[in-house]
Amino acid sequence: MTDVTDPLARFRAAAAVRAEAGLRRALAPRTADHDGLIDLASNDYLGLNGDPRLAAGAVAAVREWGTGSTGSRLVTGTTALHAELDRRLAALTGCAAGLVFSSGFLANLGAVAGLGGPGVLVVSDQVNHASIVDACRLSRSRVVVTPHRDAAAVAEVLAAREEEHALVVTDAVFSVDGDLAPLADLHRAARANGALLVVDEAHALGVVGPGGRGAAHAAGIAGEPDVVLTLTLSKSLAAQGGAVLGAPEVIEHLVDTGRAFIFDTGLNPAAAGAALAALDVLAAEPDLPGRARANARRVRDLARAAGLATADPAAAVVPVFLGEPHAALDAQRICRDHGARVGCFRPPSVPKGRACLRVTARATLGEADFTTLADALRAVARSTGRSLHT
C-alpha cells in the first residue's frame, strides 16, 4: 500500500532496486583538464573542444549577438549566424536545405514527430538512440521496431503496411556499439515502398566519409529527395545544437509545423559561432576525420590484443563488451586508476547482458595515450579473467 503521507517513498524504493542491480547513475563532475585523465569518453571526436579558433568564433558571436538568441527562430532567434549555419550544414552533408535546432535531441523530435503522425507508419531500428525512440512515441504514428541493421525486415514491414505514408528512421553510426547502419539497403527499401528515410548523423558527422561529410554522403544517398538527415553540433563540432537537413519541402514543413522547432528558443549565438568555426577547421584540415577513424581502429586493436571482446568501429566509437553492469563499472574504475577516462554503459541504455565500456577515439590522441590505454585494457582483462594470455 502506498504511503500517501510520503510522496517520495516510491522513488527511494526504486533507487534501492537500481542500486542492488548496479544501475544507479551519477553525475560526473570533471575539471577542465579531465582530472588529469586521458579523455576516451567524450564525443569530442576531432579534439576541437577548447580549440582557440572555435573559442574565437564563440566570443565574436557573443560580442555581436549577445548571450542569448532572444526568441524562437520564427520571431527573433534567427541571426545571420543561424542562417549561415543552416546553409553550410546542408552544403557539407550534400543536402538541399537545412534547419538548425537548439539540440540534436530536438532535431530528432522535430524530424520524426513533424514528418510522422497518425496515418504515417514509422519503422525504427531496435538500437536507435533514445531521442529517436521518444520521437517515435511523440509522433503518434504506429511504430514498428525492427531487428538491428535489418534492411530486409524493414522492407517487409513497409510492404505489408496499411498506412499510405511511412518513415524509416535509423542512427547512421550507433551510439554505443559504433556500428554502421546499412544505409544504401535501407534507402532501397524505403524508395521501393514510397517511404522517407531519416538518418541521424550524430556520430558520423565529422568522422565518416571524405571530409567528414557523414554516412549518408558516403553511401551516396545524401541529397536524394526521400532522404532526411538529422545531426548534432555537440560532438565532432564541439559546440551545441542540432539540425535537420533535406529537401526544401521537408524543411518548410518543419518550419510550419515542427513543434520542437517552433516553440523552442533559437540556438545560442555562441554555439552557432563555435559550430561555424568548427566547419572552417574541418574544411582546412581534411585529414582530421581519417585520423579519428584510424585512432578508433587502434583502440579496437588494443582491446583485442588484451583479449577483450570488441567490435569494428565505423567511426570513433569503440565498445568493449563486459556483460554485466558490475563488471563494466569495475572495468571503468580500473581504467580510471590507470589514467584513462572511458564511458560505461549499462541497461537500460543498452540491452540486458550487454553492459560495456564505450571508448571514444579522438583525432588528436598520441602515442603516450595509446600506451596508457593498452595498460588499462590489459588490467581490465586480467581482472575479468578474459585475457587470452592467462
From candidates 38, 121, 202, 363, binder to ligand PMP by CB under 6 A: 202
From candidates 38, 46, 120, 129, binder to ligand PMP by CB under 6 A: 129
Neighbours of 27 (CB within 10 A): 5
Beta carbon of residue 150, minimum distance to ligand PMP (angstroms, whole number): 18
In angstroms, the CA 19 to CA 353 distance is: 17
Examine residue 49 and tell whether it contacts ligand PMP (CB under 6 A). Answer: no
Examine residue 358 and tell whether it contacts ligand PMP (CB under 6 A). Answer: no
Examine residue 139 and tell whether it contacts ligand PMP (CB under 6 A). Answer: no
Examine residue 108 and tell whether it contacts ligand PMP (CB under 6 A). Answer: yes
Identify the CA nearest to 203 among candidates 58, 25, 361: 361
Instruction: Check if the beta carbon of residue 201 is closer than 8 Å to that of residue 214.
Output: yes
Instruction: Check if the beta carbon of residue 175 is closer than 8 Å to that of residue 45.
Output: no
Q: Given 175, 234, 236, 349, which residue is catalytic?
A: 175
Examine residue 360 and tell whether it contacts ligand PMP (CB under 6 A). Answer: no
Instruction: Check if the beta carbon of residue 139 is closer than 8 Å to that of residue 282.
Output: no
Measured from the CB atom, the residue of 183 and 381 that comes closer to ligand PMP is 183
From candidates 110, 214, 242, 273, binder to ligand PMP by CB under 6 A: 242
Identify the CA nearest to 278 among candidates 216, 347, 348, 231: 231
Task: Pick the piece of the chain touching ligand PMP (CB under 6 A) from 60-68, 73-81, 200-208, 303-311.
Answer: 200-208
In angstroms, the CA 114 to CA 196 distance is: 13
Examine residue 103 and tell whether it contacts ligand PMP (CB under 6 A). Answer: yes
Pull the grid cell for residue 340.
Answer: 584513462
Measured from the CB atom, the residue of 129 and 217 that comes closer to ligand PMP is 129
Examine residue 44 and tell whether it contacts ligand PMP (CB under 6 A). Answer: no
Would you give the end-to-end CA distance of the chain in angstroms? 52
Instruction: Check if the beta carbon of residue 99 is closer than 8 Å to that of residue 143.
Output: no
Kindly state the greatest CA–CA separation across the chain: 65
From candidates 49, 69, 131, 332, binder to ligand PMP by CB under 6 A: 131
Question: Where does the chain have alpha helices with state H?
Answer: 9-20, 52-65, 80-93, 104-108, 114-115, 130-139, 151-159, 183-192, 215-218, 248-257, 259-262, 269-284, 288-305, 325-337, 367-384
From candidates 200, 224, 264, 369, binder to ligand PMP by CB under 6 A: 200
Measured from the CB atom, the residue of 128 and 141 that comes closer to ligand PMP is 128
Beta carbon of residue 235, minimum distance to ligand PMP (angstroms, whole number): 7
Indicate if 203 belongs to the active site.
yes
Examine residue 104 and tell whether it contacts ligand PMP (CB under 6 A). Answer: yes
Pull the grid cell for residue 99.
Answer: 534547419
Examine residue 206 and tell whether it contacts ligand PMP (CB under 6 A). Answer: no
Q: Given 82, 187, 203, 338, which residue is catalytic?
A: 203
Indicate if 175 belongs to the active site.
yes
Indicate if 389 belongs to the active site.
no
Question: Binding residues for ligand PMP, per CB under 6 A?
Answer: 103-105, 108, 129, 131, 171, 175, 200, 202-203, 232, 234, 242
Residues annotated as catalytic (active site), given as ranges: 175, 203, 235
